[in-house]
Amino acid sequence: MASLRILLIGNGGREHALAWKLAQSPLVESIIVAPGNGGTAGLPKVTNDSSVAADDYPGLVELARQNRVNLVVPGPEAPLVDGVEGFFRDAGIPVFGPSKEAARMEGSKTFSKDFMKRHNIPTAAYENFSDYGKASEYLKTVKHNVVIKATGLAAGKGVIIPQSHEEALQGLKDIMLDKAFGDAGDAVVIEDFLEGDELSILSFCDGTTIKSLPPAQDHKRVGEGDTGLNTGGMGCYAPTKLATPALIARMEREILQPTIDGMRKDGFPFRGCLFTGIMVAPDGTPKVLEYNVRFGDPETQTMLPLLESDLAKIMYACAGPVPYLEDIQFKISPKFSATVVVAAPGYPESYPKNIPMQVGQPPQDITVFHAGTKLAGDSLVSSGGRVIAANAVGDSLRAAVDKAYEGVKLINFDGMYYRKDIAHRAFRKEDASDKLTYAQSGVSIDAGNELVDRIKAAVATTRRPGADAVIGGFGGEVDLSAAGHPGAPIIVGAIDGVGTKLIIAQKMDKHDTVGIDLVAMNVNDLVVQGAEPFMFLDYYGCSRLDVAVATSFVEGVAKGCIQAGCALVGGETAEMPDLYTGDDYDAAGAAIGVMRAAQRLPRKDAMRAGDVLVALASSGVHSNGFSLVRKIVAAAGLAYTDPCPWDDPAGGAASLGDALLTPTRIYVRPLLDVLAKTGGAVKGMAHITGGGLSENVPRMLPKHLAAEIDVASWALPAVFGWLAKAVEPKEMARAFNTGVGMVLAVAEDRAEEVVRLLEGHGETVYTVGRLAERAEGGSGCVLKNLETWA
C-alpha cells in the first residue's frame, strides 16, 4: 500500500481522536484536518486547514487534489447525509464513509425505521408522521410511554423522552410547529419507550464484512444519575460488563449482520463506520434504538485507545478500490477505557464561547481530546458546548475511570462543568454482579407491564354501559344497575393463577396448600377494591388426571374459600397430554364479589399528602417470584427436601420445600370488617403480589402522590433475608412481597383505630410510611433504607 495522505473533515473531539490514532500509523504520511481544532493543531503529521468551508464540497475536493490526498475521512454526519462521498468518488478519491443513499440510515429516522421493519431487525414499535394534527391525535390515543424523534439531523439532540402525556404533546409542538430542531422536525417518528441499558457499537464495514469494536455505554443526560437535558454525550466507558460474549454474538446475528446484508440487498452497500445504538431489555433482548453512519462522540475517544490494530489500514480496506476488510488483522486491547467530557457553563442550553483555557501535559495512559476549542494566536479558548475531554486506559474499569478524572484535573477554564459519576451504572452492576434478577429467571415484569399497555386499546373497544373496560388494576367491575338491571349491586371479578410455585408442590407431592394460594391470589385482589367475594370457580389442566392429586388440590381450594367466605360454585378439569408432560398440572381461578358504590376503592380523590401507610404482614413468599426462588435454590445446590437454610423456618416446616409452600395469607375477613366499621378511614389498598411494593402500591395512588415507605419499619422475614443474599435490594422490592402482603392508605387521624381493629383479628400490622407529593417524573413508590436489605 502506498503512503496515505488523508483529508479529515470536522473539528470535534471525534476528529481529534481520529487524527491522533491515524497519525500513529506508519502508512500515514500526512493528515489535513478541515478545519480542525486546538487539539489537532498540535499532533504530529497533522495540519489544520480552515481555508475551505466544511460544507463547500467542491472546494474540499480541490483541496484534496492540491495535496494529493488519497483517502478522505468525513467525521460528522452532515457532510455524509449531504452526499460528500459522491463528490470525492467522482474525483476518484476513496472515502471512508457511506454514500448519500446509505447515509439515509441516519439522515432520516423514518427511512431507518422502515428499513428495520422490512428486514425484521428488532426495534421499538413506531409510527411515522409528517402532519402535526395527525401526530397530535395519535398521541392522545396512546397510553404507554413514548419517545418522539425528529426524523432529520439534529446534532444528536432531536429526541424527546416525555415523562407525561402533557409533556409529549408539548414536545411534539416544539419539534413540528416551533421548529426546535429546524427542518429536522418536518416529520417525526413516535415510538414505544424501551426500558433497559443502552449500548453503542461502532462497526467497520466494507459493504459485506463487518468488524466491531467492543460495546460502549454513553451518558447522554447532562446531570449526575442520568438526569436533566439530553446532550451529545457527557462521558463514556468500554467495554461494558452487560455485553457478554453471548449477547455480543446475538447482536451480531440478529442486528449487525442483517443490517449490512439488508443495505447491500437494497442497493446501497455500507462502507465506513456504522454506529448502532442498542437497548438491552432487562430480559436480555437487544433492540435497535438508532443508526448513525459515522463514528460516535464520545465513543470514538473511548474506543480508539483500545484499538491495537492500524486504523489507517482498516479504513483503506473498507474504502479502497477493492474492499478487503475480511483479510485485515483486528486486535483489541484487553484493558478498559473511560472518557469524561468537560462542558461550557450552561450547556446544553446557551453557553459562552472564547473562554481562556489552560491544559496541562497528561501522563502516560491519559489523553486529552479537544472538541470545542480553537487557537486564538498562541492562546487556547473555548469554541463550543462540549469543550474538551479526558480519556484514560486502565487494567480495570475503576482504574480507567479514576485516571480519567485525574486527567480532568489538568483542564482549567471558568465555569467548566463535568459529570462526576461516569460509569456509575457499571459500578452499580459490578457491586451487585453476583446478584440475580427476576428477568434472569425468565420472567420480565417490564414485559408484563408493556403487554398491559399495548392491549389497553383493544380492551377499551369492549366497553359497555356499566363496564368501563379498563385493565391494569387489581380486578374488573360491572355496575349491573347501570348495565340495565336497576337496583342490582356492582359486581367485581378477579382472575389469577398460582404460577411456578406449583413446580415445588409437584416435587414435594404436596398439593393442598397451593389450592389455598389460588383462592388467596384472587380474593385478595377483590377485597382491595372494597368488594366481598361470594363465588369462586377453578380450572385445573393436566397431562393425565391423577385423581388423588386433583382431589387434594380442590380440597385446598375449598379451604381457601371457607377462609374467604365465598362458595366454590364450579370449575373445569382438562386432560391435555400434548400440552403438559408427566405429572405436570396448572391451575387458574376466578373470584366474583359484590360491593356498594360508596365502598369502592381506591378513593384517589380523597387521598392527601400525610395519609398514613399501614401494612399487614405476609405469611411467607406467597405466590409470586417463584421462578426466581427456584433459580436461587438451584444456584445454592439445595433440594426441596433439604432442611431450611434459614434459622426460623416458617411454621416449623420440616424442609425447605414445606417452608416455601406456606400458603398465601387471605386478608378478606379482617379487611371487610375494617371497611364496615371505620367508614371512610381506609382510602386505598394494594395487594403486594408480582411487582412487589414498587409496582403494586402506585396502582392505588393518584398521579400527584407517592408512597414513601421505610423498609426498616418491619423486620425482613428470615426467608427473604436468605433470598436477599442472592438478589439486590431494589430487585427484592420488585419481585417479592418482602414480608408485607397488603398496604393500606389510611386517613392520618384514623390510623390508630384501623391498626387496633386489624390486630384484633390476629393480624401483624406495621406503620410503614406516608403519602407525599410526587416529584415531577418521579416514582410512585419511594423506598427508604433499602440498603438494610443488602
Report, as an integer, the average pLDDT of 686-709.
93
Question: What number is the average pLDDT over the span 700-710?
Answer: 94
Q: What pLDDT, on the 0 to 100 scale, is given for residue 443?
A: 45
Share of residues in the chain with pLDDT > 90 (%): 63
pLDDT digits (tens, 9 = 90+) for 375-399: 998 899 999 999 999 999 999 999 9
Q: How high is the pLDDT of residue 755?
A: 96
Q: What pLDDT score does 477 carry?
A: 62
What is the rounded average pLDDT of the residues 277-306?
A: 92
Q: What pLDDT score does 157 carry?
A: 60
- Hey, how many other C-beta atoms are within 10 angstroms of the C-beta on 375? 16
Mean predicted confidence (pLDDT) in 516-530:
94
Query: pLDDT by residue (tens digit) across 596-643?
Result: 877 889 999 999 999 999 999 999 999 988 989 998 888 888 889 999
pLDDT in tens, 71-92: 999 999 999 999 999 999 999 9
Mean pLDDT of 387-416: 95
Segment 290-314 mean pLDDT: 96
For residue 96, the 8-state DSSP code is: S
With a cut of 80, say whether residue 159 has pLDDT above it: no
Nearest-10 Cα torsion for 697, 699, 700, 702: 110
From residue 266, alpha-carbon distances to 208, 273, 324, 773 in Å are 13, 18, 21, 53
Q: Is the pLDDT of residue 2 over 80?
A: no
How much is the average pLDDT of 244-255?
A: 90
Tell me the one-letter amino acid at 137.
E
SS3 content of the chain, % helix, strand, coil (to 5): 35, 25, 40
Identify whether the C-beta of residue 97 lies closer than 8 Å to the C-beta of residue 74: yes
Question: What are 31-57's pLDDT values in tens digits?
Answer: 999 999 999 999 999 999 999 998 999
Give the side-chain half-sphere CA count within 13 A for 75: 28
Strands (E), 344-424: 358-359, 366-370, 373-376, 379-382, 386-394, 411-412
Using alpha carbons, select from 369, 324, 314 the residue that is nearest to residue 25. Answer: 314
Structure-model confidence comparison of residues 160 and 399, the more confident one: 399
Q: Which pTM does this prediction carry?
A: 0.57
Q: In 3D, which of 598, 605, 789 has the Cα closest to residue 711?
A: 789
- Answer whether 38's CB lies under 8 Å from 64's CB: no
Write down the pLDDT at residue 238: 95
8 A C-beta contact, residue 646 and residue 719: yes
Residue 568 has pLDDT above 80, yes or no: yes
Confidence of residue 691 (pLDDT cuts 50, 70, 90): confident
Q: How many CA atoms lie less than 13 Å away from 535 in the CB half-sphere?
A: 9
- pLDDT at position 577 is 82
β-bridge mates for residue 685, sequence order: 744
Q: Residue 5 above 90 pLDDT?
A: yes
Q: Which residue has the higher pLDDT, 422 or 169?
A: 422
Distance between alpha carbon 609 and the CA centroid of its chain, in Å? 30
H-type helices in 45-128, by residue range?
Answer: 57-66, 77-82, 84-90, 104-107, 109-118
Using alpha carbons only, give the angle 252, 255, 261 rounded to the nearest 5 degrees: 90
pLDDT at 579: 78
Average pLDDT over residues 260-271: 96
- The confidence band for 595, taking pLDDT boundaries of 50, 70 and 90, is confident
Q: How many CA atoms lie within 13 A of 549 on its CB side?
A: 20
- C-alpha grid cell for residue 624? 409470586
At residue 444 the predicted structure's pLDDT band, cuts being 50, 70 and 90, is very low
pLDDT greater than 80 at residue 162 = no
- Characterise 717 by phi-psi region: left (phi > 0), alpha (psi -120 to 50), beta (else): beta
